Amino acid sequence: MGVGNAERAAIGAIDLHAHVVPSEIVEFLAREGARFDTQIVESEGRRFFEIAGRARRPIVAPIHDPEARLPDMDAHGVSLQAVSAVPFLMYPELEPTTAAEFAARVNDGIRGIAAHASHRFLGVATVALQDGRLAAGELDRARGLGFVAVEIPARLPGRELDDRALDPFWEAAAALGMPVCIHPFDACPAEPFSRFALGNVLGNGFDTAIAASLLAFGGVLERHPRLRVVLRHGGGAFPALLGRLDWGHGTFAECRTASARKPSDFLDHFWFDDVTFDASTFRALVDRVGAARVVVGSDHPLIPYQRSRVVEQVSEVGLDDATVRAILRDNAAALLGITST
Ligand SMILES: [Zn+2]
């Protein structure tokens, strides 16, 4: 309400959902991308990652150059970004040892970006979730390097997130105090998600809802009560379907085998970013999950702040000043353990 542009800039938003590709990784994939089914291709003077011979992701300066990100951050009052790898770099289908080596290489690159301007960027690590113990080991190393969180895919080939083989990873995340950001992606979705970009605009939201539901129904949150989880894109379909999930818990015995508590009882384990592209959807999210659970997230620089409006919308939906400040900054600062920046 009373928070305008000047006040927003003074608050200094913390963006918990931004992406990078370290330049060392661009160079590495240019040399060795065949092993990862990823090529660097040029078209009309622009460079792209080409995944599995068909999905293209642009390589633009702000994705690997921290200095090139700052003007957009400054113009929209973002003081700090928690940066994670572009999601396809998680390569959940790779053989575990190769994936673990690559994750360490990615983390070393992200560490370099964070070190370049440590008051503007914090690292979100990547791990090879194909092997729960390898993932726990890399998470421990990343914590030592100053990373503040970790990002994982919403889905793994042949394994669900509540698989007991992943418990070493969940244990490590809880013990190290590292929030786990679940990021959906499907570089090459199948029908009908291959059409109309449905894999992105709908599939991502469904995958996030499935991942969060598995953590609740599958007992992961019951087994690891200190675990903190960040859901991308406003939690996708999860907040809207919470009532139905709770109904399922009360109705189907199968839903109660690993967790005595219903999904909404675990809401205080979850944080939700505000990439919703619609102010009323954002407000509904705040009303459903509570303002203390909502943080700024943007998908920057893949989506510039001008288009996502993830900072501006916070003060445009009738929230009081203290709540605006909490969503813009204080909630994320508490989650990441930041006292001042
Ligand atoms: Zn993203």
The predicted structure's pLDDT at residue 6:
60
Q: Which residues contact 123 (CB under 8 A, 6 or more apart)?
A: 82, 83, 107, 110, 111, 113, 114, 142, 145, 146, 147, 148
The predicted structure's pLDDT at residue 9:
59
- The rounded distance, in Å, linking the Cα atoms of 71 and 238 is 34
What's the predicted TM-score (pTM) here?
A: 0.96
Q: 65-119 pLDDT, tens per residue?
A: 999 999 999 999 999 999 999 999 999 999 999 999 999 999 999 999 999 998 9
Closest alpha carbon to 315 in 73, 9, 81: 9
Is pLDDT above 60 for 8?
A: no
Which of 57-66, 98-107, 292-301 comes out lowest in average pLDDT? 57-66
Closest alpha carbon to 23 in 144, 143, 112: 112
Sign of the Cα torsion 43, 46, 51, 56 reads: negative
- 302 CA to centre of ligand 1 in angstroms: 8
- 223 CA to centre of ligand 1 in angstroms: 28
Q: 179-214 pLDDT, tens per residue?
A: 999 999 998 899 999 999 999 999 999 999 999 999
- 20 CA to centre of ligand 1 in angstroms: 10
- 91 CA to centre of ligand 1 in angstroms: 15
Is pLDDT above 80 for 10?
A: no
- 217 CA to centre of ligand 1 in angstroms: 25
Token pair for residue 105? 């290489």
The predicted structure's pLDDT at residue 7:
60
- 16 CA to centre of ligand 1 in angstroms: 10
The predicted structure's pLDDT at residue 3:
58
Average pLDDT, the chain: 95
- pLDDT band at 341, cuts 50/70/90? very low
Q: 139-177 pLDDT, tens per residue?
A: 999 999 999 999 999 999 999 999 999 999 999 999 999
173: helix, strand or coil: helix
- 83 CA to centre of ligand 1 in angstroms: 10
Token pair for residue 180? 């786990």
The predicted structure's pLDDT at residue 112:
96
CA 286 vs CA 51, 239, 293, 313: distances in Å? 36, 10, 8, 12
- 230 CA to centre of ligand 1 in angstroms: 12
- 256 CA to centre of ligand 1 in angstroms: 32
- 193 CA to centre of ligand 1 in angstroms: 18
- pLDDT band at 53, cuts 50/70/90? confident
- 18 CA to centre of ligand 1 in angstroms: 6
- 290 CA to centre of ligand 1 in angstroms: 22
Give the rounded distance of the alpha carbon of 113 from its chain centre: 18
Q: 234-278 pLDDT, tens per residue?
A: 999 999 999 999 999 999 999 999 999 999 999 999 999 999 999
- 275 CA to centre of ligand 1 in angstroms: 9
- 252 CA to centre of ligand 1 in angstroms: 34
Q: Which residues contact 303 (CB under 8 A, 6 or more apart)?
A: 275
Is pLDDT above 70 for 339?
A: yes
The DSSP bridge partners found for residue 80 are 14
Q: Using alpha carbons only, how large is the chain's radius of gyration in Å?
A: 19
Looking up tokens 């939700």 gives 272
* Straight-line distance from the first to the last Cα atom of the chain, in angstroms, rounded to the nearest whole number: 25
- 62 CA to centre of ligand 1 in angstroms: 15
- 84 CA to centre of ligand 1 in angstroms: 8
Q: 106-137 pLDDT, tens per residue?
A: 999 999 999 999 899 999 999 999 999 999 99
DSSP letter for each residue of 91-137: -TTS-HHHHHHHHHHHHHHHHHHHHHTTTTEEEEEE--TTSHHHHHH
